[in-house]
Structure 1
Amino acid sequence: MIKIYGVGRGRGKEGENKPAAPKRQPGEIRIQKELDELELPPHTSIAVPDKNNLMAFHITIAPDEGFWKGATYKFVFNVPGAYPHEPPKVKCETKIYHPNIDLQGNVCLNILREDWKPVLSINTIVYGLLYLFLEPNPGDPLNHEAADALRTDRVNFARLVGRSLKGGVVAGESFPKLT
């Protein structure tokens, strides 16, 4: 009797067994495709620290307009194995005075939470982050003090952001010099 299953699998030229390639999860395959096709906006870059782990990478954004113009912010992406059915975890590694990013780097972006859908992509998230720099949303804040400042007096908010970018103290918090 001939065994159909396994015929020709795992054999080298001389009939030796080859080690099997590690099986990739669907999320890894999707991330590979997305990263290959990524179309980053100007002043944005990506770094993959471990080429063997595409599920963890950094996106750097340097806004060219808005309150945070001239500074550079690093976001860490950790993609779960269930991606794209679960959104990536995104944290801002650069301390920032922003209504939608708290002092621990947690990011409040609707598509990273309740509005996530598997059709969304890393590219969508990057554009969402960029939009937070152009149009911060004081109506859905993580940093309530920054949101209140933005809501009540945009000119004063701009002054506070400027102070934070120069390495000053805002609301009792010290910020790194970014400009």
Structure 2
Amino acid sequence: MPSSDNLSVWYGVLFVHKGYYKSGVFKFRMVVPEVYPALPPTVTFLTDIFHPLVDVSGNLSLVQRFPTWRPYQDYLLHVLHYVKNMFKRPVLDSLLDKHCHNKEAYRLYRNDPVIFSKLAQQCAQLSITESFLFDHFPDNNLIRFSPLAEAKFGKL
């Protein structure tokens, strides 16, 4: 969904149902450059996430999927599809160290999948706590979650 004040800034939420990040709810922002489609968008996760492609500031590396951005062949839809698929095993299995922002997550995924799984599940569980789920940061993000009272839930 576009932000409330800038059509070049989009917000999204990804609900993960399977795999290492099962039950995670990950909020992200996609910024479309003024010269798009000449340059790719940037994607930043607003929810803390332990993933090989995401650095400590939440920036997603798109280089693995888009080594060379191809205007009029690569589109926002392709980027969003990659954001969805980055949590799936085929993408994780195909990652190369040189494309990963989080080297420790990459190393653990390759060499110690049990620890990686625990850390991935920990960030997924953290993402659904009230403090993360109901946080409306930043203010121009129109995607908002709020608690639903039992009485209201019953009416629905």
The reply to whether TM is greater than 0.5 is yes
Q: 1:164 to 1:104 in 2, by over 3 A?
A: same
Other structure's SS at 1:110 match: coil
Q: Separation in 2 of the partners of 1:65 and 1:53? A: 33
Q: Number of residue pairs matched?
A: 125
Q: Separation in 2 of the partners of 1:82 and 1:96? A: 29
Q: Which residue of 2 is the match for residue 155 of structure 1?
A: 114
Q: Which residue of 1 is the match for residue 57 of structure 2?
A: 104
Q: Separation in 2 of the partners of 1:126 and 1:107? A: 12
Superposition pairs for residues 57-136 of structure 1, below 5 Å? 57-110=10-63, 114-118=67-71, 119-134=73-88, 135-136=91-92
Other structure's SS at 1:166 match: helix
Specify which structure has the bigger relative contact order, considering alpha-carbon pairs within 8 angstroms and separated by 6 or more residues: 2
Q: Separation in 1 of the partners of 2:74 and 2:66? A: 12
Structure 1 position 176, deviation (Å): 7.9
Structure 1 position 56, deviation (Å): 1.0
Write the deviation string for residues 5-44 of structure 1: whole angstroms up to 9, x where unpaired. Answer: xxxxxxxxxxxxxxxxxxxxxxxxxxxxxxxxxxxxxxxx
Match of 1:129, as an amino acid? V
Q: 1:56 to 1:138 in 2, by over 3 A?
A: same
- Which runs of 4 or more aligned residues in structure 1 lie more than 6 Å from their structure 2 counterparts after TM superposition? none
Answer whether contact 1:74 1:94 (CA < 8 A) is retained: yes
Return the index of the structure with the highest Cα Rg.
1
Q: CA RMSD in A?
A: 2.4
Match of 2:74, as an amino acid? L
Q: How many percent identity over aligned positions?
A: 26
Q: Separation in 1 of the partners of 2:79 and 2:64? A: 7
TM-score normalised to structure 2 length:
0.70
Structure 1 position 125, deviation (Å): 0.3
Structure 1 residues not aligned, in runs of 5+: 1-46, 168-174
More helix, by proportion: 2
Q: Separation in 2 of the partners of 1:157 and 1:138? A: 16
TM-score normalised to structure 1 length:
0.62
Q: 1:122 to 1:88 in 2, by over 3 A?
A: same
